[in-house]
Amino acid sequence: NAGVMQNPRHLVRRRGQEARLRCSPMKGHSHVYWYRQLPEEGLKFMVYLQKENIIDESGMPKERFSAEFPKEGPSILRIQQVVRGDSAAYFCASSGPGETQYFGPGTRLLVL
Amino acid sequence: ILNVEQSPQSLHVQEGDSTNFTCSFPSSNFYALHWYRWETAKSPEALFVMTLNGDEKKKGRISATLNTKEGYSYLYIKGSQPEDSATYLCALASNTGNQFYFGTGTSLTVIP
């Protein structure tokens, strides 16, 4: 049973470009969470999704960031017009309803 | 947003020493308390889930206790080994258990 998968593991973008981060949850998990770890900070919740639904996006920046979890395929975190301050590690986690979250290896985004 | 605090921020101990650290959280809206171990360049790994006041969990040399009435959990490591070096995160799951609030972690370094 493969764990949570994220790709790419490392992503370099220039300011103004778009970044797309993908997360495939563990088999059987219907809940996906995205977290961001800024340099020298802890994990901050961004968004919680179930298939085709955003349940809680209270941690998402109001602009440029969006997330989806389509019926088929991985969850996508999309950052438009990236800025240097978006440089961070982005972690995805998945779980069954009300269960422990299992984390992926993260995507390290560097904006030049 | 719920405030989860961990102390100390960092800790250096000698190999063989026992150590403990604290996670504090608001006791209202409590659903579950999760402990994770996070090694550098890896993803957080689930250690314990605790839900009941007075819960005590153990995994090898690591154990944890929970007091939901006063809003704290302790993590203990007996006879620390260099491989225990990691950041230990606690996360409060509130309401339905799907929303996690992470502390900033305690960074443990075990000196051989």
Question: Which residue among B31, B43, B96 places its CB closest to the CB of A103?
Answer: B43
Tens of pLDDT, residue by residue over B27-45, are 776 788 999 999 987 889 9
Contact at 8 Å (CB) between B39 and B107? no
CA distance A31 to chain B (A): 8
Q: Which of B34, B96, B100 sits opposite A33 (nearest CB)?
A: B100
**Residue B82 φ/ψ, nearest 5 degrees:** -55, -35
**What is the tens place of the pLDDT at every residue in A2-40?**
799 999 999 999 999 999 999 999 998 989 999 999 877
Q: At B2, list the tokens.
A: 């719920």
| Contact status of B51 with chain A (Cβ, < 8 Å) | no
**Which three-class secondary structure state does DSSP give residue A85?**
helix
Burial (Cβ within 10 Å: 0-12, 13-18, ≥19) of residue A41: exposed
Q: Rounded distance, CA A96 to CA A85, Å?
A: 32
> What part of B 7-36 touches A (C-beta under 8 Å)?
31, 34, 36
- State how far the Cα of B84 lies from the Cα of A3, in Å rounded to an integer: 22
CB contact under 8 A, B104 and A31: no
CA of A101, closest CA in chain B: separation in Å?
8
Average pLDDT over residues A80-107: 91
Among candidates A48, A91, A105 on the partner chain, residue whose Cβ is nearest the Cβ of B98: A48
Which candidate in B45, B51, B100 is best for mutational testing of the A interface (most A CBs within 10 A)? B100
Tell me which chain A residue has its CA closest to the CA of residue B48.
A100
**Residue A1: pLDDT over 60:** no
Pick from A7, A33, A43 the residue to mutate for testing the B interface (most B CBs within 10 Å). A43
For A98-109, write each residue's pLDDT tens digit: 678 899 999 999
Tokens of A12: 């370099």
Render pLDDT for B55-112 as a digit per residue (tens, 0 to 9): 999 999 999 999 999 999 999 999 999 999 999 999 988 766 667 888 989 999 999 9
